[in-house]
A and B are shown apart, each in its own frame.
Chain A
């Protein structure tokens, strides 16, 4: 075979643009998903039975099925059932947000569990209202402790976001694949986008490890 990495160089601006899109998609879905995840994790600690069961069912469904089928389900089925016409981008954003919500709720739940029971008793003794308890006692601690797993969830979301290419959204994966088809040089292009994903994701995982090792342990434990 003749391996010629220079063919990729001609398309670097297109690839860079696609990477920017992938990053923007990941970032916005990660933030929205974390908000959703925090609410779900609170719902899962609730004593209200229906609330508990719906939120648990939601998490189990979204963690127990492949993301690919979630994407397809929302892409093809929501328009039919609810009679809504969603643009492809909106439908993949919804899927990724729901997926991130389910995975990050587990990270929040782990952090919630690590808060000692005594603090809840203390809140009651001090007569702190449940709204204030959630906002000023629980949330700051949970955020600090959940930061490392949430960051790794976000890195995972960045990798999983490659799946949106399967419903025709022009992210890095999609652009790389179509370039490799057009130029008939799959080895060069697929390897290049693999390296691009790696170069973005790998430092982030290192940062997660560092935060875990230094910052969090000093402030939260």
Chain B
């Protein structure tokens, strides 16, 4: 091992990495908003009484959960313009692909949250003559959200990591800028290590937060 590392080139071009980081954050946050909001709606569809609603929703969830995210991203970038004649900028397209993926994973998380709500409450909703909209919004959603929260956040972090895949279709995110910098500088070790550290610095505190929330939930469940 006689490699002398030099980080000067990476630090000189750190603003490039920061620009990439900004795109990565935009992708992650926007995809999470889509995933958290529409994931709940999708989970309601997936447990609907009507097969015609339930089956397509379940098929959607399973299809996104059982195919590689890389393939989904590439499919959206190559096939969506051809099939539907939709031309989006790279970042919105990335948000769409990642958001639709996260929707499927979050719907599963919400579903177990919804199913954890005691049957009696649903009877109580009937007794109180709440309409379905009120029932879902005021009774089911708050509780399902609380139960699903740790998984929702964990899914959110994995979307942060999966967002690096858009680099393969040349969206200028953190991974893409890192790749460019590594090739330009002939310093892959320094560049990729720094990029990995940036991802880690974002994922670690959020992961800690998840275990904190889980511990708190366990305590409230036992008391």
Contact = CB atoms under 8 A, between A and B. Distances in A.
Most buried by A among B2, B70, B82: B70
A83 interface: yes
Interface of chain B, helix or strand or loop or mixed?
A: helix
A68 B175 contact: yes
B188 A77 contact: yes
A78 to B, nearest CB: 9
A69 B199 contact: yes
Nearest to B188: A76
B193 A72 contact: no
A69 B82 CA distance: 30
A194 interface: yes
A202 B67 CA distance: 9
A46 to B, nearest CB: 20
A163 interface: yes
A160 B162 CA distance: 10
Contacts of B195: 69
Given A80-B189, A198-B63, A191 B79 contact: yes
B162 to A, nearest CB: 7
Interface string A145-173: 00000000001000111110110000001
Contacts of A68: 164-165, 167-168, 175
Interface of chain A, helix or strand or loop or mixed?
A: helix
B179 interface: yes
A197 B71 contact: yes
A92 B63 CA distance: 26
A159 B158 CA distance: 14
Interface in A175-221: 177, 180, 186-187, 190-191, 193-194, 197-198, 201-202, 205
Interface in B63-93: 63, 65-72, 74-75, 78-79, 82-83
A64 interface: yes
Most buried by B among A64, A80, A194, A197: A64
Contacts of A193: 71
B174 to A, nearest CB: 9
Interface of A: 1, 3, 60-61, 63-70, 72-73, 76-77, 80-83, 155, 159-163, 165-166, 173, 177, 180, 186-187, 190-191, 193-194, 197-198, 201-202, 205
17 contacts: A3-B83, A64-B207, A67-B161, A68-B164, A69-B192, A69-B196, A73-B196, A81-B3, A155-B66, A163-B68, A187-B83, A190-B75, A197-B66, A197-B68, A198-B63, A205-B65, A205-B66
